Structure 1
Amino acid sequence: MSKKTIGIIVGSLRKESFNKSIANYVASLLPAEYEAKFIDISDVDMFNQDLEDNPPVSWTRLREDVKAADAYLFFTPEYNRSVPAVLKNVLDVASRPYGQNVWSHKPAGIVSVSMGGIAAFGANHHLRQTLAFLDVYPLQQPEAYIGNVMGLLDDKGNLVNEDTKNFLKSYADAFTAWVEKF
C-alpha cells in the first residue's frame, strides 16, 4: 500500500507563524502510512484571469502540488473575520481555469489558530464555504479552533499545552479516519 499524501497549507506567511507551529505538530501526529507535504504558498502570483493562457510558473507548481495530494489540512489565522488573502488566492488559482479544479473530490481538515479567544471562527467558516463550492469535503466533527495560542506555545514555537496536544491527537485521528472513507 502506498502512502497517502496530505497537502498541508498554512495560511500565514509570517516566519514565526503560530499556524505553522500547530501545523508542524499535527503533521507529526499523522500515522506512518501518511506523508505530510507542506505546500508552499508564499510565492504564488495573484490570480488574474488574463494570465490563464500563459500561467506563471508559481501557478503551475501550485496546481501540480494540490493535484498530487490525496487530502488537505488547512491551517488558517483570521484576518478581518475571514481567511488571509494569500489563502484565498491559492484556492482560486488551483480551481482555475474553469472546469479544471484540482481541489475537487478530496477530503480536508481545517484548523484555525488565533491569538484571540474566538479562535479564528470566522476564517474557519469562510474557508468551509469556499471548500464546499470547490467540491472539497471538510471534516465536520470535531471542529478545530485553537484560541489564545500564545499561551500554548513555548518561546521556540513548540506546543507545550497537554490539553491542546490531546485534542490535536484526537483531531488527527478523526481526520485520518475521514480520509480513509475516500
Structure 2
Amino acid sequence: MAPRTPARDRLLDAAATRFYADGVTATGIDTITAEAGVAKMSLYNNFASKGDLVAAYLERRHEEWLGLYAARREGAAGPRERVLAVVDAYVDHAEGAYAHGFRGCGLLNAAAELPVGDPGRAVVRRHKEHVERLVADDLAELIDAAAAADLAEHIAFVLEGATVRAGLESDPARLQHARRLVEQLLDAA
C-alpha cells in the first residue's frame, strides 16, 4: 500500500487547483478542505490562516516555475540561450495541463485579488524581481550592466504582457510570439 500524501501537501494541491481555476477570493476554506479530503482542523494545523495558505501556494508556484526554468537552463549553451530559457519556461508554463485552461500567471492572478500590503503580494513581487534579475545577470555577460538592467526590464514587460494575453486567450501563441520578440531584442543588443 502506497503511503498517504501528507495533509499539508494535499491542502496545497487543492489550493493550487482551486485558486488557479476559481480565484483566491472565491475559494473558501471548506472547498479546499473538501477537495484535499481533510478536516478543517488539518488546515489550521498546517496554516495559521487562509492568508498563510495563499502565501504558501504562491511560494510553491514560484518554486514550480524555477523548476521549469532549471530544466530549460540546463541545456543553454551561453548567456543568450539562458535568457531564452527564461522565455521558454514561460511557454512551458502556458502549455501546462490545466483542467480549466491556461488563465495566465497564477501569481499575478492572485496578487490582483489581494489587498495592498498583503504578504502574498510580496511573494509575487519577489518572484517577478527574481525572474528579471536572472535575465539581467545573463545579459550582463553580453552588454554593460546598466544596459542589461534596462533590457531585462523590457524583456520582463514583454513576458508579462504576453502572459496576460495568453491567459485571456487561453492560448500560448502570445508567449511563442514573445520569444521571437525577445530574440529580436537580443539581436539588437
The reply to whether TM is greater than 0.5 is no
Higher relative helix content: 2
Q: Bigger radius of gyration, 1 or 2?
A: 2
Higher relative strand content: 1
- Under a length normalisation based on structure 1, what TM-score does the superposition of the two structures give? 0.32
